[in-house]
Structure 1
Amino acid sequence: MSDDRHARGFRRLWAGQSISQFGDRISELALPLIAVGALDASVTEVSALTAMVWGPNLLAVFLGAWVDQRRSKRRLMVVADLVRAAALLTVPAAALAGALTLVQLYAVAVVTGAAGVLFNTAYPSYFAKLVPQSAYITANSRLSASRSASFVAGPAVGGGLVQLLTAPFAVLVDAVSFVGSAVLIGRTAVEEAEPGPAGPSMLTRARLGLAFIVRHPVLRASLGTCTTVNLFTFVGYSLTVLLASRILGLSAGAIGLAFGVGATGSLLAALVAPAVSRRLGVGPTIALGAVLFPASMALTAVAGGPFWARTGALAAAQFLGGIGVMWFDINLNSLQASVIPDDMRSRVSGAFNTVNYGIRPLGALLGGVLGTTLGVRTALMVAAVGGTLCVLWLLPSPILRIRSLDDVAKPVAPEPAPAPVG
């Protein structure tokens, strides 16, 4: 990044997100362990805990419309981090008092999930002002590399902390990580865009954000591709561990090892993403990642043979899937940042995430139905094949023809709707 001030600001954002990502890996392990171990939750109750985290995304379309009218997106991101920290701090506090309940865990999941939606809808505008367009792919590559590294080392660190501190007090580390993120982002001032005129109501702005996606050829194809991928990969996620444990007969340690080895694929792909994009082009790299990500599940579906072959197939599937998702996400996120007008970033992000993330719980439920009716291996193969069909959204779109972000026209906001007369 050429501007030293922007470079320092991005380094703070990167550091804050890296700390937060490692903290997230701890809570992702600790909260279900609290529910299962300390609170004797059933399978349905543990699944509900996950649903509580994702549920607030269904309202992202409205929250994004509200965020678009706020001047300081940075302040909203800081507030979101502090709210998540405060919610998580109630877990060890309640454990100390002997008052921890499943209802409280549900409340923590909803609050942290809602704060995450606030952070994610404010983030695109902040990122676009902090990072010049020419550096979008490089910046997203670095952020994704940190996230991938957290998946490589985070579960092991989280497991160690849970054993050392117990699960409720391991959550304290994640709370501290959100405070660290808030401090770093709070010190990174950028010249943020002024919000547009108050104009229409929040509901109208939300509708306009969704309409902008539907009418924009790049965003329409992006949403169709992402939603298709998420539907089928969450079918796969709901079945992979079950197949590895019950059908392949792998121990928890072997599954964890395979996932850890597989996560190195994400890290490697994130590091080389800018070079791959320059070589293949942004659009073709998106298409390659979109196919490789879900198709890799087929390796798990057909796994068999001796122990090393079963474990190796699971690791290879995770490795290739990690490569695919990084090349897909890094390039698509950078492309989307290039085509969305500044004064619409939050409402478009909210509308996009409502559909894109809202499909995930449905995918998990579909996985249970397909696994029961077709068998786990067949259902996982259906997920692999169905996921690759996401590329059909890209074929008629302009995305495949985009070689670099320089090819993307400067985004222009649509004309506002006329005010009612009388």
Structure 2
Amino acid sequence: MANGHQSASLFKHADFLKLWAAQIGSAFGSRITRTVLPMIAILTINATPNEIAILSALSFAPGLIVAFLAGGYIDRNKKRPLLITTDLVRAALIFSVPIAAHFSAMSMMQLYVVAAVVGAATSIFQIADNAYLPRLVAKDQLVDANSKLEATDAVAEASGPGIAGLLVSLFSAPIAMIFDAITYLWSALMLSFIKKPEPKRTAKSAEDSLLRDAVLGFKSCVKHPIVGPILAADTLMTLAGGIYVTLYMVVALRTLALDPFTVGVIISLGGIAGFFGALAAAPVANKFGLRNTLVVTMALGQLANFGIPLAAALPQYSIALLSFQQVAGDFFMTIFVIQALSLRQREMPENVLARANATFQLTTGMVIPLSALMAGPISMWIGITNTLWIAAIGAMFALPILLMIKKPN
């Protein structure tokens, strides 16, 4: 593993700094889009709850499917032009919103199209970005690079919705989209300044197809001695995570009768902890190694989730337990996510890396709504607290799966 000069070397890595600057724009832009589009639908078009639900689904689902099928195309082609193209597509679509608002031509159909195409472009950007990073930095710099990018993403996740709300308050929802579009133009500009050449595109063979590409990416992950167990463990933890997400507010607001402000403060602690987890990821991996860090942070992060059913069972300690869960869970799981991504980037062949990234994205995207749909009936059958206990215990079975991973080279 790289030693202590690794971090400084990335600050002197001109091309990485440009990619990082681009990612800052894209990260904040995606959060602003996600926040402001529903506001426009509600404030400008008086959308119904059903229309808002459709808008939310279109922001999410098409991107998973398109990105999964596009993995082979991303693998065979240069990544930087694709990243720039997705930025320009998002900027153009988002600019269309304030233009339509200016001419009083806004419609839900336009917002549906914007949500679907921007969501798909964002998914493609994320997959191509993760596949591009190993071409830009050395393998022993991947953890450090991913830590910096993840820290930025944590800041965007925590502050992006607030910035979006402020822009809407100061100007208007359609005008806020102009600032949103500018973030994507900034990202495209920064990416255009990167100088390191990429390998030439690989020609598509007669046997290649969208479905074959998707199947190849899935098989490449499942059969890999390191990536396969990570995918299985990640799927199991995501299944439990969908249950937490579904029942967390019910427990906090109804079972424990906490006020919304307190709940908001508790959740914000997780965002802060995630930021510090991103900063700690590289030093921890340098000291203990990728494999050991992966296993230990997964175990500690999932153990922290026992704080949720414990809070429901011990309401007198609920604030302390939920705060502990947010801080410890987000801190350790952020480190886990960075190690898992870095291992995938190191171990998977470059010619299937985008398809592997797409497999992880699709699997996670499918499991979360599935577990969310399961959470309701199960909790009605055996109770919310018991459902949370089952989720917490079930997620711990990811530990023996990860222990099957041998030490990477």
Deviation at 1:296, TM superposition (A): 3.0
**Cα distance in 2 between the residues matched to 1:256 and 1:20:** 25
TM-score w.r.t. structure 2 length? 0.87
Deviation at 1:133, TM superposition (A): 0.5
Q: Is 2:122 aligned against 1:116?
A: yes
Q: Is 2:58 aligned against 1:58?
A: no
**Cα distance in 2 between the residues matched to 1:124 and 1:306:** 42
Q: Is 2:293 aligned against 1:285?
A: yes
Distance 1:143 1:397, change over 3 A: same
**Cα distance in 2 between the residues matched to 1:394 and 1:74:** 33
Contact in 2 for aligned 1:126/1:192 (Cα 8 Å): no
In structure 1, the partner of 2:100 is 94
Distance 1:37 1:297, change over 3 A: farther
Match of 1:201 among 204, 208, 225: 208
Q: Is 2:374 aligned against 1:366?
A: yes
Contact in 2 for aligned 1:27/1:170 (Cα 8 Å): no
* Secondary structure of the structure 2 residue equivalent to 1:231: helix
Q: Is 2:143 aligned against 1:146?
A: no
Contact in 1 for aligned 2:10/2:145 (Cα 8 Å): no
Q: Is 2:353 aligned against 1:352?
A: no
CA deviation vs aligned residue, 1:315-351 (integer Å, no higher than 9, x gap) = 3322222112211111111111111112222222223
Deviation at 1:6, TM superposition (A): 7.9
**Cα distance in 2 between the residues matched to 1:207 and 1:304:** 42
Distance 1:136 1:158, change over 3 A: same
**Cα distance in 2 between the residues matched to 1:61 and 1:50:** 19
Match of 1:394 among 372, 387, 402: 402
In structure 2, the partner of 1:228 is 236
Q: Is 2:15 aligned against 1:9?
A: yes
TM-score w.r.t. structure 1 length? 0.85
The code of the aligned residue for 2:213 comes to: R
The code of the aligned residue for 1:84 comes to: R
* Secondary structure of the structure 2 residue equivalent to 1:196: coil
**Cα distance in 2 between the residues matched to 1:63 and 1:368:** 34
Distance 1:159 1:242, change over 3 A: farther
The code of the aligned residue for 1:364 comes to: A
Identity among equivalent pairs (%): 29
Task: In structure 2, list runs of 5 or more residues that go unmatched.
Answer: 1-5
In structure 1, the partner of 2:187 is 181
Contact in 1 for aligned 2:93/2:118 (Cα 8 Å): yes
In structure 2, the partner of 1:272 is 280
Q: Is 2:218 aligned against 1:213?
A: no
Contact in 2 for aligned 1:88/1:108 (Cα 8 Å): yes
The code of the aligned residue for 1:22 comes to: F
CA deviation vs aligned residue, 1:110-130 (integer Å, no higher than 9, x gap) = 111111222123223321111
**Cα distance in 2 between the residues matched to 1:316 and 1:374:** 26
Give the root-mean-square deviation of aligned CA atoms: 2.8
